[in-house]
Amino acid sequence: MSQWCWMVLLMHVNIVNWHGIYLSVAEISQSKDQKQINLKLKIFPDDLDNVLRLFEKGLYQSADICSKEKSILTYFSKNLWININHKSARLHWSGCKKVGDSLELTFYIPQKEPLKSIELKATFFTELFAAQQNIIQIKTPDASPVFLKFKEGDTWQSVSFPVK
C-alpha cells in the first residue's frame, strides 16, 4: 500500500495519541493485616481518556484525568470483575497519580475472611484496542506470585490459595 493510502487511512481512523503498545500491568496484593485486598493498576492516561469518552457516549468532558474518580470507578467496575472466595467483590476507589508517562490507579476490596481463591475477568480497554493485553500479578504473603494475562475475548481465570 502506498504511503499516501496509509496517511489517509490513519487520518480517517482518527487515532488520538497513538503509541502502538496497548498494555496494562496490575498488581493484586493483600494488606499485611489481611483485612483488605489492594489493586494497583498502571495504564496510559490517553488510553483511559479515550475509553472513558467511548464509555460515557459523548457526555465525557476532558479534564485532569485523576479528577474523574466516579467515571473511572464505574468503568472498571464494569470491565474488571473480581470474585473473592467465589463471591463477587466490589472495587472501592483509593486513588490516582501520574507516574512518568503513565497513570497509577489504586482500588481496594475489604477482606472479611481468609483468602482461598480469586477469580478474575479483565476486559478493560479491549473494546477500544483489539491488541490490548492486561497482565495481572497476584501476590500473597504465603505464596509465590502468580501472573495472569487477559486479552479480548478471554473469560474468567482463577487462582486457589495457597499457591506453591
The pLDDT tens digits for 37-69 are 999 999 998 889 888 888 877 666 667 889 889
Render 34-64 in DSSP notation, one character per residue: SSEEEEEEEE-HHHHHHHHHHHTTT----S-
Higher-pLDDT residue of 105 and 18 is 105
Region of 77 (left: φ > 0; alpha: ψ -120 to 50; beta: rest) is alpha
Place of cell 475475548: 153
pLDDT of residue 8 exceeding 80, the answer is no
What 3-state class would DSSP assign to 71?
Answer: helix
With beta carbons less than 8 A apart as the criterion, state whether 106 and 70 touch: no
Instruction: Quote the pLDDT of residue 4.
Output: 37
Question: Per residue in 73-82, pLDDT tens?
Answer: 999 999 999 9
pLDDT of residue 105 exceeding 80, the answer is yes
For residue 141, what pLDDT band results from cuts at 50, 70 and 90? confident
Instruction: Quote the pLDDT of residue 5.
Output: 32
Burial grade of 72 (CB within 10 A; 0-12, 13-18, 19 or more)? buried
Instruction: Quote the pLDDT of residue 159.
Output: 95
- Give the separation between CA 154 and CA 40, rounded to whole angstroms: 21
**What 8-state DSSP symbol labels residue 6?**
H
Burial grade of 122 (CB within 10 A; 0-12, 13-18, 19 or more)? buried
- Give the separation between CA 114 and CA 161, rounded to whole angstroms: 10
Instruction: Quote the pLDDT of residue 96.
Output: 96
Higher-pLDDT residue of 105 and 49 is 105
Determine the residue type at 27. Answer: E
**Shortest CA distance to 142 belongs to which of 125, 164, 120?**
164
